[in-house]
């Protein structure tokens, strides 16, 4: 098991090694492909302010993700409440969802300035629009038997939603949550490109003007680290919350005896 | 609690044929009534009408003298497929109904331990449904009703998914629970022996549209023991019901 766990890390190290080897051969100009050494130098040069930029991006993405998830779950559940709410919200959600959030950035800057509020709001809305659809379909797949059971035990509609539907849909929301987590970083960085004084997107944009490609690469790597850590955190939280649910993945991954000789 | 059906008919919207036609039946308080009949005769529909999950096309369904308008905690149905909340432990499943009634956490724990003990599953209090066998799941569902002192428990082919040996044990356990708590029980099954072993009365239904063909009293003394299963009295009643179903053409489907 340990070998399997480290194989992913080994692959990452192999790619880093290849990158380092290509960069140190100097066949590609440094401007086009800065090596790991240059990136580490860039980190040292910008330390400690780079950490503040990283924290800025992380906090925006997380704030937007959390607010957006709550909003999305609320809207999704509301759409299931009755036909009237559905008719009211469905066109809105379905017309907001396909519009790329990036297209709205100029307006958000105009309305909210270059502070975090507008960025967080934009991330929230994008995440919410995606999750609302997930929630809506997940509710439709909840076993009618457990809803009947709750009703016959005396649950009101409100209780059914809060105590039965909400926990029941979490496993089905896992993929959506992981996707919007990545989305929140994309939108955070994109909005920092256009208007912000802090954040990794801002660092990348500033470095672009002066052609400091090593700093651009550093920014990219840091975004990757943030997104990866966020995904791991979400996955481990979900694994804990949905420990009651039956998963087929393990079953499928078990080696079948007849194939082994 | 008494259950009364008066000239109840039911038609599914998608089908022109009626599923139930003019059913009148009175089930007394604390009575154990089994309903048998060929598949598709409307046994489950009848149970869903009493459970309040369906409304009759015509006629009335009364529970405790009151018109059944929807599902309620006075009539709990135990279906063939598990309806336990998969995200709650056995104990939490049992406590759910109490929580809805505003019972304190401390009291809820005492009550759930009590019923878990009654069904011999105290060791599984913290297990999630996925960790329980089919038989255990059924027992936890029964416990979920018992803890509320539900006056009417409806069983819809509840033991169909349980293997034969466990089924015998479960039938005895259900009888024990019935004798101790005396709820009104309506037990839908296609197992005639089970029906005769458990019930005070066996209602035999016939096919399309579903109607009551006959009602057979079972006067065997309680508790009904495992030995009675093979007794000539029980087998005679079983045979009688079987003949009744055959004469109705219930087995024609199989013969085809």
Q: What is the pLDDT along chain A (261 residues), one digit of tens a residue?
A: 567 778 989 999 999 999 999 998 988 898 999 999 999 999 999 999 999 999 999 999 999 999 999 999 999 999 999 999 999 999 989 988 889 888 999 999 899 988 889 999 999 999 999 999 999 999 999 999 999 899 889 899 999 999 999 999 999 999 999 999 999 999 999 999 988 889 999 999 999 999 999 999 999 999 999 999 999 999 999 999 999 998 877 778 777 665 544
Verify whether the Cβ–Cβ distance A245 to B72 is below 8 Å.
no
Residue ranges of the domains in chain A?
34-243
Q: Do strands B58-63 and B201-206 pair parallel, antiparallel, or not at all (unpaired)? A: unpaired
Instruction: Judge whether residue B207 has pLDDT over 70.
Output: yes
Which residues on adjacent β-strands are paired with residue B204? B36, B214
B10 CB near a chain A CB, below 8 Å? Answer: no
Q: Distance (Å, rounded) from C-alpha A244 to C-alpha B89? A: 8
Verify whether the Cβ–Cβ distance B100 to A146 is below 8 Å.
no
Spatial strand order in the sheet of B211-217? B75-78, B152-156, B184-188, B32-36, B201-206, B211-217
**Judged by CB atoms within 8 Å, which residues 161-190 of A form the interface with B?**
163-164, 167-168, 170
Alpha-carbon gap: A170 to the closest alpha carbon of chain B (Å): 10
A34-243: CATH number: 1.10.3720.10
As to burial, measured by CB atoms within 10 angstroms (0-12 exposed, 13-18 middle, 19+ buried), residue A57 is buried
Average pLDDT, chain B: 89
Question: C-alpha angle with apex B138: B137 to B144, nearest 5 degrees?
Answer: 90
Phi-psi region of B42 (alpha: psi -120 to 50; beta: other; left: phi over 0): left
Question: What are the structure tokens assigned to A133, written together?
Answer: 């659809």
Residue matched to tokens 């955070």: A188
Residue among A153, A168, A243 minimizing CB distance to B100:
A153
User: What mean pLDDT do residues B57-63 have?
Assistant: 93
Q: Chain centroid to CA B77: how far?
A: 7
Q: How much is the CA Rg of chain B, to the nearest whole Å?
A: 18
B3-255: CATH number: 3.40.50.300
Residue among A153, A243, A244 minimizing CB distance to B73:
A153
Q: Distance (Å, rounded) from C-alpha A225 to C-alpha A238? A: 20
User: What mean pLDDT do residues B229-254 have?
Assistant: 80
Q: Given pLDDT bands bounded at 50, 70 and 90, which one contains residue B16?
A: low
The helix, strand and coil proportions of chain B, stated in percent and rounded to the nearest 5, come to 40, 25, 35
Q: Do strands B58-63 and B66-67 pair parallel, antiparallel, or not at all (unpaired)? A: antiparallel
Q: Which of A124, A132, A130 is nearest to A187 (CA)?
A: A124
Q: Distance (Å, rounded) from C-alpha B241 to C-alpha B201? A: 11
Which residues of chain A does B130 touch, with a Cβ-Cβ cutoff of 8 Å? 244-246
In the DSSP assignment, the letter for residue B93 is H
Instruction: Judge whether residue B231 has pLDDT over 50.
Output: yes
As to burial, measured by CB atoms within 10 angstroms (0-12 exposed, 13-18 middle, 19+ buried), residue B163 is exposed
Nearest Cα residue in chain B from A164: B85
Spatial strand order in the sheet of B66-67? B18-27, B3-11, B58-63, B66-67
Other beta carbons within 10 angstroms of residue B122's beta carbon come to 15
Which residues of chain A does B52 touch, with a Cβ-Cβ cutoff of 8 Å? 152
**Judged by CB atoms within 8 Å, which residues 144-163 of A form the interface with B?**
145-146, 148-155, 159, 163
Q: Given pLDDT bands bounded at 50, 70 and 90, which one contains residue B250?
A: low
Cβ atoms of B236 and B187 closer than 8 Å: no
Number of CB pairs, chain A paired with chain B, less than 8 A apart: 66
Query: Residue ranges of the alpha helices (H) in A82-197?
Result: 83-96, 101-112, 116-140, 144-152, 157-159, 166-194
Q: Given pLDDT bands bounded at 50, 70 and 90, which one contains residue B254?
A: very low
What dihedral angle (degrees, nearest 10) is formed by the CA atoms of A128, A129, A130, A134? 90
Instruction: Judge whether residue B67 has pLDDT over 70.
Output: yes
Per-residue pLDDT at B141: 93
Name B178's Cβ contacts closer than 8 Å, sequence gap at least 6: B32, B185, B198
Q: Distance (Å, rounded) from C-alpha B172 to C-alpha B175? A: 5
pTM of the model: 0.85
**Judged by CB atoms within 8 Å, which residues 139-198 of B form the interface with A?**
141, 144, 148
| Preceding peptide of A48 cis, ω within 30° | yes
């Amino acid at each position: 098991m340990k070998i399997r766990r480290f194989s992913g890390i080994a692959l990452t190290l192999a790619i880093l090694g290849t990158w380092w080897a290509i960069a140190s051969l100097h066949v590609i100009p440094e401007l086009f492909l800065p090596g790991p050494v240059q990136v580490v130098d860039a980190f040292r040069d910008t330390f400690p302010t780079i950490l503040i930029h990283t924290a800025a991006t992380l906090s925006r993405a997380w704030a937007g993700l959390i607010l957006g998830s709550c909003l999305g779950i609320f809207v999704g559940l509301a759409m299931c409440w009755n036909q009237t709410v559905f008719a009211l919200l469905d066109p809105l959600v379905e017309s907001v969802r396909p519009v790329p959030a990036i297209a709205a950035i100029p307006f958000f800057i105009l309305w909210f300035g270059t502070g975090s509020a507008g960025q967080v709001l934009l991330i929230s809305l994008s995440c919410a629009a995606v999750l609302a659809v997930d929630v809506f379909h997940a509710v439709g797949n909840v076993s009618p038997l457990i809803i009947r059971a709750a009703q016959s035990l005396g649950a009101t509609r409100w209780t059914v939603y809060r105590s039965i539907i909400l926990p029941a849909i979490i496993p089905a929301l896992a993929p959506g949550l992981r996707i919007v987590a990545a989305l929140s970083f994309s939108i955070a960085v994109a909005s920092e490109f256009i208007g912000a004084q802090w954040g990794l997107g801002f660092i990348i944009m500033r470095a672009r003007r002066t052609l400091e490609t090593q700093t651009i690469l550093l920014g990219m790597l840091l975004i990757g680290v943030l997104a990866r850590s966020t995904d791991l955190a979400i996955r481990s939280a979900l694994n804990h919350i949905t420990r009651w649910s039956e998963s087929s993945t393990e079953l499928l991954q078990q080696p079948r005896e007849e194939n082994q000789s | 609690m008494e259950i009364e059906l008066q000239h109840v008919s039911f038609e599914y919207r998608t089908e022109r044929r009626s599923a139930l036609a003019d059913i009148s039946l009175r089930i007394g308080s604390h009575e154990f009534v089994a309903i048998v009949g060929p598949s598709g005769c409307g046994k489950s529909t009848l149970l869903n009408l009493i459970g309040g999950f369906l409304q009759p096309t015509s006629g009335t369904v009364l529970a405790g003298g009151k018109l059944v308008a929807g599902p309620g905690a006075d009539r709990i149905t135990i279906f063939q497929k598990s309806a336990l909340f998969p995200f709650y432990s056995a104990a939490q499943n049992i406590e759910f109904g109490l929580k809805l009634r505003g019972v304190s956490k401390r009291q809820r724990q005492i009550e759930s331990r009590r019923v878990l003990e009654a069904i011999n599953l105290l060791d599984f209090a913290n297990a999630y449904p996925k960790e329980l066998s089919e038989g255990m799941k059924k027992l936890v569902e029964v416990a979920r009703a018992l803890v509320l002192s539900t006056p009417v428990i409806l069983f819809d082919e509840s033991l169909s998914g349980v293997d034969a040996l466990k089924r015998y044990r479960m039938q005895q356990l259900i009888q024990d629970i019935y004798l101790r708590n005396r709820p009104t029980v309506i037990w839908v099954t296609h197992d005639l022996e089970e029906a005769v072993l458990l019930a005070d009365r066996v209602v035999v239904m016939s096919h399309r549209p579903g109607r009551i063909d006959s009602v057979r009293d079972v006067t065997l003394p309680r508790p009904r023991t495992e030995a009675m299963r093979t007794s000539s009295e029980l087998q005679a009643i079983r045979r009688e019901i079987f003949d009744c179903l055959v004469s109705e053409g219930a087995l024609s489907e199989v013969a085809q």
